[in-house]
Chains A and B, each alone.
Chain A
Amino acid sequence: MKAFFCLLTLAFITLASVNIRAAEITVFAAASLTDSLKEIAAGYEKTSGDKITFNFGASSTLARQIDAGAPADIFFSADEAQMDGLAKKDLIDPATRKSRLGNMLVVVIATDSTLQINSASDLTNAAVKQIALADPKAVPAGVYAKAWLTQQQLWPAIEPKVVPTENVRGALAAVESGNVEAGVVYKTDAGISKKVKVAYEVSAKDAPDISYPMALVKESKQPDAAKDFLNYLDSQEAGDIFKKFGFILRD
């Protein structure tokens, strides 16, 4: 009799803690999306009952991890190249792929800095000893920055000054710490930091086309719940939050 009641209690506890409808979705997203996605997810979790877990980082690193079998349900990259890479390996569901957001590049300096940077070529001044970029070899923010500076024919002069960081937030932190004179980050990153100010905004015609695609990872164990979240990310509510943080909506 005692054993039966124990078993019953155990069953109740187990059932109560499992909401049969609730799913746990893992989203691998570019570092620049950290603040906006967290706010979007908080709202979504309340209404849907699903739980969203994030892995933020450089899109190139995340793509490597997915390629190596990391358990991601959704990939939200900061450039098309990384998504293309996974698409080529048939790791994402092309039907769910959508280029959702755009962004702008800015040159940031520390809030207490007295540097004058009014054009791209000002970055070649001797006063600017070191410039932090997300690693231009693969991280989207760095790749974009290099593309911009190459198009301005300034890259060979600037390359020796580059301090590559692991992701775009690392570049932001380097400028905040004062250990580099300037950095090239997304406008949305400059927006969330109080310790840097925008010295120069790269105009749309000078900058490369910045595009943030999102897609379902084929190996996802929760494809339906993941697709629901993707749809939410595509919604107007989510779009308003993205706009609040400074992202450009592509549609």
Chain B
Amino acid sequence: MTSEEWQIVWFTAWVSALSTLVILPFGLALAWELARRDWPGKSIVETFVSLPLVMPPVATGLILLKLFGRRGTIGGFLHGRLNFDVIFTWRAVLLALSVMSLPLLVRSARVAFEEVNPRLEQIARTLGAGNWRVFFTITVPLAARGIIAGMILAFARALGEFGATIMVAGNIHGKTSTLSLTIFQDVQLGQDTNAFRLLGVSVVLAFAAVWFSEFLLRRKIKTR
């Protein structure tokens, strides 16, 4: 492995970790709303959240490209007012990874929240705890294992993201090259040995992440 390749592994790992942290507040809030509340149009929101899981990643990437490009609704505003570019920068990688891994976090967290007995939250309220205190001292600790398993799954998904990433970030050497993009390019250039080396690294990373996530879930079931 060359130092360049290690740089790519490192970049992939930290952008994936950052994307997991970035989606955490919104993902947990959304999961809690879906778990506890009912409102007209809820099923539409549920479907939208699941879309990146089911749609072809390049299709999701295309939507992001149109939205965040300099001529797009959001991208135009960012470029024009704040001189801030997303497409073809590392921020586009962060965007692609976040959008693609969000559904996994929301699904796991939602199930975890649904398994918390609402009676416990209610009694906490009678003891004088407001909504935020109930959420952080009762709901989240009891749902912790499921949430963490969801975060790990989201992280693993982000590690392997390709279709949306290549659409919005390209594969710019040193700036947006992720593990998957580099494997693809190595194959394009006929550098199969390099590709297989990086393939090995991604398998190890993904394996570790998924195994740990399953381990956490199994432990949760045993202690009940």
Residues of chain A whose beta carbon lies under 8 Å from any beta carbon of chain B: 58, 60-61, 64, 67, 129-130, 135, 137-138, 160, 162-165, 174, 177-180
Contacts and interface: CB of A to CB of B under 8 A. Distances in A.
A179 B65 CA distance: 9
Contact of A177 (B70, B185, B188): B70
Interface of B: 65, 69-71, 85, 87-88, 170-174, 185, 187-190
Contacts of A58: 188
Contacts of A138: 188-189
Contact of B170 (A60, A137, A160, A164): A164
Would you list the 5 A-B pairs with minimal beta carbon distance, nearest first?
A178-B70, A179-B87, A178-B71, A163-B88, A179-B69
Contacts of A177: 65, 69-71
Contacts of A137: 185, 189
B189 A60 contact: yes
A164 B173 contact: yes
Contacts of B174: 160
Contacts of B87: 179
A164 B175 CA distance: 11
Contacts of A61: 188
B95 to A, nearest CB: 13
A186 B128 CA distance: 71
Given A164-B173, A165-B170, A180-B88, 17 more contacts: A60-B189, A61-B188, A64-B187, A64-B190, A135-B185, A163-B88, A163-B170, A163-B172, A164-B170, A174-B88, A174-B170, A177-B65, A177-B70, A178-B70, A179-B69, A179-B85, A179-B88
Contacts of B173: 164
A8 B88 CA distance: 62
A179 to B, nearest CB: 4
Most buried by B among A64, A137, A178: A178
A164 B88 contact: no
A54 B171 CA distance: 26
Nearest to A130: B88
A164 B172 contact: yes
Contacts of B71: 177-178
7 contacts: A60-B189, A138-B189, A163-B88, A164-B172, A177-B70, A178-B69, A179-B85
Contacts of A64: 187-188, 190
Contact of A164 (B65, B171, B190): B171
A162 B173 CA distance: 9
Nearest to A129: B85
B11 to A, nearest CB: 16
Contacts of A178: 69-71
Contacts of B188: 58, 60-61, 64, 135, 138
Contacts of A165: 170
B127 to A, nearest CB: 54
Contacts of B85: 129, 179
Nearest to A177: B69
A135 B187 CA distance: 14
